[in-house]
Amino acid sequence: MRFAKGHGTENDFVILLDPYGSQGLTAGLAARLCDRRAGIGGDGVLRAVRTAACGRCGPGDAVSGHGSGANEAAGPGVGAEWFMDYRNADGSLAEMCGNGIRVFARYLARHGLVTGPEFTVATRSGPRRVRLDAGGDVTADMGAVAVLGPGSAVVADQVYPGLRVSVGNPHLACVVQDSLAAFDLSRPPGLDPGQFPEGGNVELVRVTGARSVAMRVHERGSGETRSCGTGAVAAAAAAAATANGRRGDGHAGNGHGGNVQAENVQAENEQTGNTWEVTVPGGTLGVTLDAGRAWLTGPAVIVAEGELDPSWLATAAHGSAEGVHRL
C-alpha cells in the first residue's frame, strides 16, 4: 500500500490513495498508522476515494459512522470527484479537517488527479471548494460558521468560559488573557456532554492585535496538535464575536441566553475587516470571514512518499487500536 506524509502548519497526516474504495481504512489501522513510534506518525489519516466508488466502501469507511457518506456529502451536481475520508489519530471518524483538506488538495494536484488550480472535495460536512494559490498556499472554503452560544471548558481543574462554534464540526473557543504557554493541555479538557454529545475541539485563544490571535488547541481524538484549521476558524469567529461585545447570546457581554448565528460574526467583520491572522505553534494561517462563511489559507506540504511494508501492514490491519497511539 502506497502512502504519503504531509502537513499544514505542522498539523501532520498520513495520506492513502484508495480510488476504488477497495483497501478500506479501519479505526485500528488508522490508529497504528498515526502511532509516532511504531507507525508513520500523524494527527490523522486522509484516505482519497473517488466519490463514484464510495458505495462500495466497506463498514467503518466513508459511508458509515457519524456524518454523511461521500455521495450524500457531495450532493447532486456538485462535481466532487474525490471524497476525503478522514480519521483522527485514535481512529475515530471526523466530519471535517481544515488543514487536512488543504494537504489533501496538494496531494491530488501533485499526482495529477484533479484538473485546474480550483476544484471541489467531498467531506462528511459537505462539498468544499479548494484552490491552489499562485504563491504556494492552499485555500479551502470552510463552509458556514455559526456561533451557537456560551459554554465552558475545564482545563487543569480550572473553568474557562468560551463560545461554542460550529465549523462543520464542534468547537469551544475560549478567549483568555493569560499566556498560552501557561496552560496544560496534556489531558483532554472537560466539556458539558449536553452541549458536546460527541465531544469537541477546545481552542485557547489570545487576542494579539486588531485582527490577529494566537491559539493552542486540543483536538477531539488527537490530543494537543501544532495546528487545527477548523480550530483557527473557530478562534477567529470567537474573537470577532467577542470584539463585537457578543458572547453568542444576542446580548452584550453577559454570556447567558439563547443562540446567535454567524451574522454576528459578519457584522463585526463589516466594521473591522474580515481577514484574521491566526498564529499557532506550527506557523500562521489566514482566516477570512464573510457572509457567514469562512476561508482558510496557509501552507500545505507533502514531505515524503513510500510503500508500507506488507508484513507490518498485515499485523497492523488485524491489530487492536487500543493503546497503540502515542502523541
Positions annotated as catalytic residues are 97, 228
With a CB cutoff of 8 Å and minimum separation 6, the contacts of 64 are 57
Tell me the backbone φ, ψ of residue 54, rounded to 5 degrees: -70, -20
With a CB cutoff of 8 Å and minimum separation 6, the contacts of 194 are none
Cα three-residue angle 165-273-9, rounded to 5 degrees: 60
How far apart CA 148 and CA 284 sit, in angstroms, is 26
Total residue count of the chain as it appears in this document: 327
DSSP class per residue in 176-188: -SS-GGG---SSP
Nearest-10 Cα torsion for 172, 177, 182, 186: 0
Q: How many helices (H) and strands (E) does the chain have?
A: 6, 18
Q: Which amino acid is at 98?
A: G
Cell for 271? 466594521
* DSSP class of 124: T
What are the angstrom distances between the C-alpha of 284 and each of 213, 225, 253?
Answer: 10, 14, 29
